[in-house]
Amino acid sequence: MSFYIETSSPEDWKSKLADPKHWKKNRSAMALAYSWMEAKGFPKSVKDVFEKSEYPIFKNIEFLSGIVEHEVSLPGGRRPS
């Protein structure tokens, strides 16, 4: 069973990481947390991709919810990514 916990700041993401060592300045975990939380929706770079899409459904897409850290097992991997 999983529960998705609301976050109110980038620091809330730290406790959700698979490995706390990933929470460092200039590393992807921290950079993504700050990017998404400061955007209060889709970060500009993500929104730009949707707006440039040839598919009309993506032109006015709205961010509803997200999962902070979701481990995915990749074929051939030693551990979830």
Model confidence pLDDT, tens digit, residues 61-79: 999 988 887 778 889 988 7
Domain positions in the chain: 22-58
Give pLDDT tens digits for 8-63. Answer: 999 998 888 878 888 999 898 899 999 999 998 999 999 999 999 999 999 889 99
Range 27-35 contact pairs with CB under 8 angstroms and sequence separation of 24 or more:
29/69, 33/68, 34/10
